[in-house]
Structure 1
């Protein structure tokens, strides 16, 4: 607004066309708009930063190996030493004989159902473990080898296997339990050596599980042999 004189000693304000009047109300509105724009920009930047820092797929952080259901990642699988290789090689063969013994028993008639159930349980547990250990050996550029195995590892001799093959009924069940106790004791010794000397975390974890599971099975078999 520019002042304009109107009459003697009197002035009045007039508006310049095309130029809005500057009033306290308009100044206040402009400041409020500026604050709103600044707040909106700040919120946008906050969302952008949070989005950039969030983890993929809904936010759960991926643990190496977790995507394989507890199996190892390629980095974990490559971490091994000679003790891991020896454990996997020898335990594969050891498990294979346990399954062969179980198959012999399950093919017989007149066997105590509890003994047959135990034989089935041994097969179900050790079959997948063989597959797991063979996959490790393949990844390590190794293969299962029986050269390191001997009777002292709890392995049955050929004469032992023949005796089990020829046994029948209750005698077969009793012989199976006696042999499998010795077989399990050998496996536990091998597993304990892996726990002490192994480097691969998955192999050591399997060794721990073998010690736990087969110790419990030995107690069950000894109870059966005692007539329990």
Structure 2
């Protein structure tokens, strides 16, 4: 009887020890795997998020967007004068192409500034410090263009727009050299290509080439 009780006790002890070992092993496994997965996974995800949010744009990108918006607006203002004043069908087409290309770019540039928490230049508020720089026309030059018509308008429009485009190309080259935001440097590349081609076209129409 005593032997029987001892055997039962031993069996119970072994079973309990075995169960405890299983529980400990299970807990240990969960702890190691769980902490490892949460630790490494969570850390790498946080690091990836941080690296993604950093360095997307820099001061040069902001300067490019804030400068190109009023620059484009003035080009469109000049282009809007062409339908009623220009004599040459080629000049009218050129003006239409300029407006078609630059209007969407203004919207894109404005969207970037908003997403960066930067202020979008007010429509119609021209920064006077830009006049004479980057090819911007003065108020007097704009009045001269508004008062011209026929062949005189065509000549004035192209001469002013060449100067205007050359300023935009220089701004775009600065963005390519100093900017960090890939879509902005891509737009700069497109501006250089398209406006350089239009400069060449206008020089040809003016008989300068």
Q: TM-score, normalised by structure 1?
A: 0.64
Given that residues 114 and 120 in structure 2 are in contact (C-alpha distance below 8 angstroms), is that contact kept between their aligned partners in structure 1? no
Asked if residue 200 in structure 1 is aligned to residue 181 in structure 2, the reply is yes
1:144 positional shift? 3.0
The equivalent residue for 1:115 is: 91
Question: Post-superposition shift, 1:142?
Answer: 1.1
1:109-131 deviation line (CA, Å, top 9, x unaligned): x5100000000000000000000
In structure 2, what is the equivalent of residue 99 of structure 1?
76
* Residue number in structure 1 paired with 2:66: 89
Does the 8 Å CA contact 1:90/1:144 hold for their aligned counterparts? no
Q: 1:116 to 1:206 in 2, by over 3 A?
A: same
Using CA pairs under 8 Å that are at least 6 residues apart, name the structure with larger relative contact order, 1 or 2.
Answer: 2
Distance 1:177-1:77 versus aligned 2 partners, 3 A rule: farther
Please give the secondary structure, in 1, of the residue aligned with 2:56: coil
C-alpha separation in 2, matches of 1:100 and 1:217: 17
Q: 1:221 aligns with which of 184, 202, 209?
A: 202
1:157 aligns with 2:138: yes
Q: Which runs of 5+ in 1 are unaligned?
A: 1-74
Please report how far the alpha carbon of residue 151 of structure 1 lies from its aligned counterpart in structure 2 after TM superposition.
1.4
3-state SS of 2:173 partner = helix
Give structure 1 regions of 4+ aligned residues with deviation exceeding 2 angstroms: 75-78, 143-150
**RMSD, aligned α-carbons:** 1.9
| Unaligned segments of structure 2, at least 5 residues | 1-51
Residue 64 of structure 2 aligns to a residue in which SS?
helix
For residues 131 and 77 of structure 1, the distance between their equivalents in structure 2, rounded to whole angstroms, comes to 24
| Cα drift, residue 106 of structure 1 | 1.8
Shift of 1:149: 2.3
Question: Residue in 2 aligned with 1:177?
Answer: 158
2:77 and 2:141 mapped to 1: Cα distance? 12
Residue aligned with 2:118, SS: coil
Q: CA deviation at 1:150?
A: 3.1
How far apart in 1 are the matches of 2:80 and 2:53? 34
Alignment match, 2:21: none
With over 3 angstroms needed to count, the CA separation of the structure-2 counterparts of 1:192 and 1:77, relative to structure 1, is farther
